[in-house]
Amino acid sequence: MYRIIERRMIVPNLHELTVEAPQVTESVRPGNFVIVRPDADGERIPLSVADWDAEAGTVTSIFLQVGASTSKLARRRPGDTIPTYAGPLGQETEIRKYGTVLCVGGCYGIGSVYPVARALREAGNTVIALLEARSSYLLYWQDKFRSVAERTLELTRDGSAGYKGHITRLPEILTLEKIAPDLIVANGCTLQMMLVSRVTKPLGIKTIVNMNPIMIDGTGMCGVCRLTVAGKTKFACVDGPDFDGHEVDWEEFLKRRKTYNPEEVHPLRKSGCASHF
């Protein structure tokens, strides 16, 4: 059993989860994920690692409350335990000196791109962060980014913070901000990573995305996380989760993500309230 140190809603529907897992902090790297099971009958779900404290032996993730399992996790309180917290899993994001790197984060990916930005900065890169959300109240961790990024930009759909509009404005933002990145790292929902890859391809800027498919074991055993990259089938859990966004078959990936959409929300209807079902 693994003890929850902190679980709080950081912005609406997004939760910060910190778990005591010293065996994970020992070898965790940016870009890794963990497999979490909220209770004995729960699913195994992958959560990207957003931060860790090696001394305290704790690992932090940000997750979006969307289906049955994440709703269970969202109800957990500090001091509670969860039966599975396994990792670190997946290949780490390749950290080396690229020059200027733009780190794009949205949704839970604001959290998971943070350790990438930090490590890239430590490796001598100029890091610029672009945090995007529907509205200003959904942004978080700006202070953490300011401590590692030369500039922290914001983009909101309603214009309540930073640039107004969708992530497809990225090329224009690069021009306005006079940024010529050698690499772009995008973490976030599938649509965001797909759109970032789509708009950076004509610009010829290498774009790394951190894929988030359905998983079970997370160790290469089941193959449910497979996706097509440069025409070849890859397993996100062992070959990724980082891939070149210009080579991913996004259409197929989006369809595969939807496999269990009806089942994902089904258990939410078991509220126990007679009139609810």
Partner 1 sequence: MPKTIAPKKVPMPKQEPFERIRNFDEVALGFTPELARREAERCLACKKPYCVEGCPVGIDIPRFIKHIAEGDFKAGIKTIKERNALPAVCGRVCPQEEQCEKHCVLGKKHEPVAIGRLERFLADWEAASGSIEKPDIAPSNDRKVAVVGSGPAGITVASDLAVLGYAVTMYEALHEAGGVLTYGIPEFRLPKSIVRREVEYVRSLGVKLHLDYIVGKTRTVDRLLKDFDAVFIGAGAGLPWFLEIPGENLNGVYSANEYLTRCNLMKGFRFPACDTPLKRARRVAVFGGGNVAMDAARTALRLGADESHIVYRRSRKELPARLEEVENAEEEGVIFDYLTLPLRLIGDEQGWLVGIECQRMELGEPDASGRRRPVPVKGSEFVMEADASICAIGNSPNPLIPMTTPGLTIGKKGNIEADEETGRTSRENIWAGGDVVTGAATVISAMGAGRKAAKSIHERLSGSKKP
64 in contact with partner 1 (CB under 8 A): no
Using DSSP bridges, classify how beta strands 151-156 and 163-164 pair: parallel, antiparallel or unpaired.
parallel
Q: Nearer Cβ to partner 1, position 18 or 200?
A: 18
With contacts defined by CB under 8 A, name the span among 23-31, 52-60, 142-150, 165-173 that binds partner 1: 23-31
Q: Nearer Cβ to partner 1, position 168 or 233?
A: 233
> Could you say which of 160, 189, 224, 247 contacts partner 1 (CB under 8 A)?
224
> Could you say which of 53, 158, 244, 252 contacts partner 1 (CB under 8 A)?
252
Shortest CB 137 distance to partner 1, Å:
30
What stretches of the chain show up as alpha helix (H) in DSSP?
22-25, 68-74, 108-122, 142-148, 170-176, 190-200, 236-239, 250-257, 261-265
* DSSP line for 64-98: E--SHHHHHHHT--TT-EESEEEEEESPPP--S--
In Å, what is the CA distance from 117 to each residue of 54, 200, 206, 257? 18, 19, 16, 27
255 in contact with partner 1 (CB under 8 A): yes
Q: Which of residues 133-152 bind partner 1 (CB under 8 A)?
A: none
The three-state secondary structure class of 231 is coil
Measured distance CA(194)–CA(11) in Å, rounded = 24
> Could you say which of 31, 87, 105, 181 contacts partner 1 (CB under 8 A)?
87
Shortest CB 194 distance to partner 1, Å:
15
Residues that bind partner 1 (CB under 8 A): 23-24, 26-27, 35, 37, 41-44, 68-69, 72, 83-89, 216-217, 219-224, 226-228, 233, 238, 252, 255-256, 258-260, 263-264, 266-267, 270
